[in-house]
Structure 1
Amino acid sequence: MDSARQRILHLREELNRHNHNYYVLNAPEISDMDFDFMMKELEELEKEHPEFDDPYSPTHRVGSDINKAFTQIAHKRPMLSLGNTYSIEEVNDFVRRAKDGLMGEDFKIVGEMKYDGTSISLTYEHGRLVRAVTRGDGQQGDVVTDNVITIKSIPLQLQGSGWPDEFEIRGEILLPWKEFDRLNAEREFNEEPLFANPRNAASGTLKMQNSAEVAKRGLDAILYFMLGDNLPYDNHYDNMKAAASWGFKVSPEMTLLDDMEAVDRYIEYWDTARKELPVATDGLVFKINSRRQQLNLGFTAKSPRWAIAYKFKAERALTKLRFVSFEVGRTGVVTPVANLEPVLLSGTVVKRASLHNEDIIRTLDIHDHDMLYVEKGGEIIPKITDVDKNSRAPGSEPVEFVKNCPVCGTPLIRIEGEAAWICPNKSGCPPQICGRIEHYVGRRMMNIDGIGEEMVVELYNNGWVRNPADLYTLEVHAEAMKMLPGIGPRTVNRILEGVEASKEVPFERVLYALSIPYVGETGAKKLARAMKSIDRIMEASVDELTAIEDIGPRIAESIISYFSVQENRNIVRRLKDAGVNMSVPENVDADRSDLLAGKTIVISGTFSKHSRDEYKELIENNGGKNSGSISKKTDYVLAGENMGPAKLEKAKSLGIPVIDEDTFLIMIEKQS
């Protein structure tokens, strides 16, 4: 037993070190495969020895798929905003005011990047993360600890030594450009609204109710300010260097500046160089370095007098509109796209920009061949922001939105209350058909290897696949497929193997793969768990569907409309006949009950009879709701060993019963 515990502790320490090397230092020492092998060994050991479970083990970085409502908590120290300026002269004025406020005393300034993400406050006690809180309104914010735990660049257990017993460190949660591009590519493929910039994406991700989904997004974090009563140094710069030695990701661009000339050079350099950074920035921050001098300068009602933010101006360019094209997605939505004379913005050449819908074209009053203002600023997606009407050619006609589908010619329709025009020819419009097939085979749906966008078009153009059910008869076309340019026996075999393997995909992913309008990944999961089979869903009424959590009237009506089309029902029948999963296995609900119906339970500490994840599942399976933090709405705290003292104190102050695992197991009539 001791050897198992020692091995678990060793693996955790090594995996945390390698995580830090990879995500913070960008200097991995081992291959991804070796890392995965270590992680797999740890997972197996923890499963064999649940008594050694630790909520901050590297194996828990993937998050939980249990929805959790956020609770608010007051900040121990207010999270004030900084004063902003777009002028170098005003930054110099800030330096002069600081000098006057310090009665001529010498001081140093720290220059830092102003990262464009969402603010976070992390509290550590005895070297372990105990709480993560959003900025909120500056006085209180949402507790998002469960989501922050999934961010691999945030240490859960500090390394090295010398940290205070209790301190707070603040920073920015970010979505790197690479992850932002990947996420938007997925959303574009699924015809979901694109995130305008990484800041919005990071903020939205951090507030998701499903930490398992948060873990998939690839968030990052850079920390920039430490607060506490016993910090190791009397200045900001050295404290942040110490934080870096404890495992925090601290900006390598942080620089000590001696005078206004150095500040001006810093601004001039980063106005261009920032565009090469892997994360979004929208300015610089300048802080007086000495903590004593910060205290002497104090605060205004809204911001500190010892810091200022210099914001970069958004990049803007004027370029000519060549023409507007109209593109059809898998749900039939027709999107206008401005095709532009190429223009350089933020280091990339912009040739196209979405105009989103007819209303935006009308609002901007865009005419043929207008000169358009394009902006990126902190946004990677080019956006048309204005029209230079002074340069408009006489007699230029307004851009007209098409009345018919640009591909199949079907008259477009517009649903009342919505901005989009839609091609209703679901069964005969090629881009819609190909889009639905491409969606069906996608990684998060049926995950059929070897079939991408180009292959879908080939299969469609050759008449072999016109709907997802046709994929399961592809074997009869195998020899003909091998004759396609660039396609050999190996690719065809991989496709056929992928089609066969897709029959094992769980029902909830099959449901998502069907491209039912408004039914996304989460909605499909809720539907599958509640209705159990495709047959029940096809015959369900609006009332039955809206009784399911997160299924509103619009989604319910869309489901009924989808299955009212005989062709869709035929596709489902053919998929079922092919062996695709169209129901939830019967044994899934064997252990479900309503014993904890209406009860909200918080889990804290470590346990010997079941893991924390197993207890969460038991709570959910018995009708209860898991929560990550204690509030007046909490009914019980399920406490194991090493329960956090703050949680215990809060539970007592609110009069919430604290129960051990034996008591809990009796409550759900499950002894072990």
Structure 2
Amino acid sequence: MAIETTTDDQLADARAEAQQLTTRILELRDAYYERDTVLVSDEEYDRMMRRLEELERLYPELQSQDSPTQTVGGRAQTTLFAPVEHAERMLSLDNVFSLEEFEAWAAKVERDAGRRVDYLCELKIDGLAINLRYERGVLVSAATRGDGVVGEDVTENIRWIPVIPTRLATDDPPALVEVRGEVFFPVAEFEELNAHQLEAGERVFANARNAASGSLRQKAEGKNPAQLELMRNRLRRLHMLVHGIGAWQNPPVDAQSKVYELLKGWGLPTSTHYRVVDDAKKVDEFIEYYGAHRGAVEHEIDGIVIKVDELALHDELGATSRAPRWAIAYKYPPEQVNTKLLDIVVSVGRTGRATPFAVMEKVRVAGSEVRQATLHNQEVVKAKGVLIGDTVVLRKAGDVIPEVLGPVVELRDGTEREFVMPENCPECGTKLAPAKEGDIDLRCPNAEFCPAQVRGRVEHIGSRGALDIEALGEVAAAALTQPRFPETPPLPTEAGLFGLRLADLFPIEVVVRDSETGLPKLTDSGEEKVDTPFRRRRQKKDGAYDPAAEEFAGDELYVPSKSAIELLNNLAAAREKPLWRILVALNIRHVGPVAARALGNHFGSLDAIRSATRDELADVDGVGGIIADAVLAWFEVDWHREIVERWAADGVQFTTPGHPGPGRADEAGGVLAGLTVVATGSLEGFTREGAQEAIIAAGGKAASSVSKKTDFVAAGPGAGSKLAKAEELGVRVIDAAQFKKLVEEGPAALDAE
């Protein structure tokens, strides 16, 4: 029997695909958890996750400790709120999208349990997950999910929500209990909130989930009394329902439903919309009932959560690294509505692809208001048979992404007209063409100067996975590359980014664009939204800021805004970011964080990478032939080389200090020279990336898996299987404080303890 082996090319292809999936999934998570923005449907997100899981199963060496398949939620820490470590991990839920998928899950649960089980069915609230920590009955902290181990401290804001008790109504509270639930706006409160926001001249929210997240995740600092009252008014309108527990030593009940009864007795808000049933078919009935009566519920729902009711089985069934095996979420099919197709416009993205988008009369579907939907390409427009002016059927795939299904032909009156794909780029006028023969998609070949492509690349440079420049978000990127005023943008290309001065930032007006479509965002009156992100502030002669002043009388009275100073300070700091981040920021195809780390660690400088042959690049662990070809091709383009030259002239560091040269990273010295360290879990004082960078900076190898060659495993809360593997192999395990000492002073400092 022949044994199937994996070739180097197969592994390289798999690695490149896994890197692309990882980068995209992290971008989607960042948008959802940090910017309250949903970019793809649940089905599409789940498809990407399942494909990544499959690749990691086929090629175990591709799985790292920070893979999306091993992590939950958004960032562990942000610049807005202090971090709070959960006493027990907050997991996510796996999803199913049909009754057949649910029944298959239930059958597996009962096989694993070895007996019939009772199921608790409850509504899946479309809100913000929250963790309340009570010590001896007193609320001591409230935190968002974060990455499942560490969340954001929103305690002060939570205290303004009337239904959440600051003290439990019991004479015998547990020493510690974590209560998990969902913060949300009831439908009626959300509608009243939007009316109040509109009256006050404030932002109107598109959907209740974003409104809940935006209301809870705001800071009181810097607000005037009127703004504080608006903020607190929004918080008072919020509601919460409890849906589970976290840390709790020996709860005096044996079922999830009894937990709800106990929590209700303590004064915590629990839902009345749940039922315990004794077989999967009765769960089906519950799902179908609420699928037909979603509009009758007092809050937005996007599915049903089904849990094994018996608590003892929770421990027996266990969990994966990100989700319990004893619970599942059934996601409802999307809602459908009719609306008017006003126009089809074409948007150009970062890679130059020209995408038609439907522009429609605003309509509410699946809990949010929709005006735009992608039509993918000109062939899809033809296939759907839609005409401009049609009444069309719109749905939200997975209750997230708007999708035009097709026209209501019976309502046509003869005024409709066909869409004609433009021959030229709508942003720069260059003739559109397929990237290669046979491609359906059309692209703008003016990659260097097309404003839409430059905007996308500049936004990528500031993204979390590249240089992580907080002040260089989508509005700032658009202002610098596609301003409404002045006519000539400060950045015709990204080559001038690090040479920006304060004088380049004033005055700038920009049309705010949707980060996914690139199309202008609209006000409620249908006009394009305009922003001036880098305002100058007027200062009185005595130095006091005068916010009411609108006219400029003399430059000596004006100081730059905080956002302008912040951008230039961020750029100054980014000049000395690690080489791997600079490589990601260059927008080289296939070079994401994993490949960039490998290249930077091996070669130590951009000059060494440029001078390497294809074989030398491909031989680097974590790179391979596809990425090697992409790197070589990138440097063959003259304007790419100009970016490097101008960035270098403006102070960007393209070398790793102290690196001895290609292939000699182990000779770089440092207190961890020759040692391999694995960092896992939440290490206080370090992000996941920060821990890896600390190991590398100290001369060590930052490994993603534990083996006999591992010298130390730094383990924090949530360490999981890597900690178990270290204990099995007898590898020395250290905590966060010891890890800090290790990377600063070396192993001898630990031996001296």
With the shorter chain as reference, the TM-score category is 0.5 to 0.7
CA apart distance, 1:653: 11
Number of residues of Structure 1 aligned to a counterpart in Structure 2? 476
Q: Distance in 2 between matches of 1:286 and 1:660?
A: 35
**Partner Cα separation in structure 2 for residue 514 and residue 580 of structure 1:** 12
2:145 corresponds to 1:149? no
Q: Deviations over 1:565-618 (max 9, x none)?
A: 222212321221121222222269433878457xx96989999xxx9x979965
Q: 1:225 to 1:525 in 2, by over 3 A?
A: same
Q: Secondary structure at the match of 1:671?
A: helix
Q: Quick one: which of 570, 573, 578 aligns to 2:645?
A: 573
Does the 8 A contact of 1:316 with 1:345 survive in 2?
yes
Identity, % of aligned positions: 21
Unaligned runs of 5+ in 2: 1-32, 34-74, 79-93, 101-115, 130-144, 155-167, 186-208, 210-239, 313-325, 511-530, 537-557, 660-664
CA deviation vs aligned residue, 1:281-321 (integer Å, no higher than 9, x gap): 2246699x8999xxxxxxxxxxxxx9999875531012332
Q: Hey, what does 1:430 align to over in structure 2?
A: 451
Matched with 1:114 is 124
**Counterpart among 477, 482, 490 of residue 457 in structure 1:** 482
Paired with 2:609 and 2:359, the residues of 1 have a C-alpha distance of 43
1:224, 1:466 → 2: CA distance?
A: 52
Q: Is 1:534 equivalent to 2:585 in the alignment?
A: no
Does the CA-based 8 Å contact 1:314-1:376 persist in structure 2? yes
Structure 1 counterpart of 2:270: 252
DSSP 3-state at the match of 2:640:
helix
1:671 corresponds to 2:741 = no
Of 495, 502, 517, the residue aligned with 2:571 is 502
Deviation at 1:473, TM superposition (A): 4.9
Whole-angstrom distance in 2 between the partners of 1:582 and 1:648: 34
2:348 counterpart of 1:328: yes
User: Structure 1 residues 409, 335: CA separation in 2 closer, same or farther (over 3 Å shift)?
Assistant: same
The correspondence for 1:562, drawn from 634, 641, 647, is 634
Would the aligned equivalents of 2:336 and 2:395 in 1 still touch at CA under 8 Å? yes
User: How many Å separate the matches in 2 of 1:353 and 1:147?
Assistant: 30
CA separation of 1:538 and 1:606: change in aligned 2, threshold 3 A: closer
- The CA deviation string for residues 166-220 of structure 1, in whole angstroms up to 9 with x for no partner, is x9x99999999xxxxxxxxxxxxxxxxxxxxx9xxxxxxxxxxxxxxxxxxxxx9
Distance of 1:442 and 1:653 partners within structure 2: 37
CA distance in 2, matches of 1:595, 1:221: 52
For residues 93-492 of structure 1, the aligned pairs below 5 Å read 112-114=122-124, 148-151=148-151, 223-224=243-244, 232-240=252-260, 252-255=270-273, 267=290, 271-272=294-295, 276-277=299-300, 281-283=302-304, 312=332, 314-376=334-396, 378-388=398-408, 399-416=419-436, 420-440=441-461, 444-447=467-470, 451-458=476-483, 461-462=487-488, 464-475=490-501, 477=503, 481=507, 487-488=535-536, 489-491=558-560
Other-structure match for 2:142: none
Tell me the TM-score normalised to structure 1 length: 0.52
Aligned twin of 2:703: 625
User: Gaps spanning 5+ residues in structure 1: where?
Assistant: 1-22, 24-59, 64-78, 86-100, 120-144, 177-197, 199-219, 293-305
Match of 1:414, SS?
coil
Report the 3-state secondary structure (helix = DSSP H, G, I; strand = E; otherwise coil) of the residue aligned with 1:515: coil
| Cα distance change on mapping 1:567 and 1:383 into 2, 3 Å | same
AA aligned to 1:150 is V
How does the TM-score come out when normalised to structure 2? Answer: 0.47
| Larger RCO, structure (CA 8 Å, separation 6 or more) | 1
CA gap 1:461/1:455 in 2 versus in 1, 3 angstroms: same
Counterpart residue type for residue 149 of structure 1: V
Counterpart contact for 1:637–1:651, Cα < 8 Å: no
Secondary structure class of the residue paired with 2:270: coil
CA displacement at 1:547 relative to structure 2:
3.6
Q: Counterpart amino acid of 1:405?
A: C
1:405 shift after superposition: 1.7
Q: CA RMSD in A?
A: 6.5
Q: Which secondary structure state, in structure 1, belongs to the residue aligned with residue 393 of structure 2?
A: strand
Look up the equivalent residue of 1:671 and give its one-letter code.
A
Residue 429 of structure 1: how far off its partner (Å): 2.1
Helix, strand or coil at the partner of 1:499: helix
CA drift of 1:374 comes to: 1.2
CA distance in 2 between counterparts of 1:534 and 1:653 reads 39
Cα deviation, 1:19-39, whole Å, max 9, x if unaligned, reads xxxx9xxxxxxxxxxxxxxxx
Matches of 1:643 and 1:577, distance apart in 2: 44
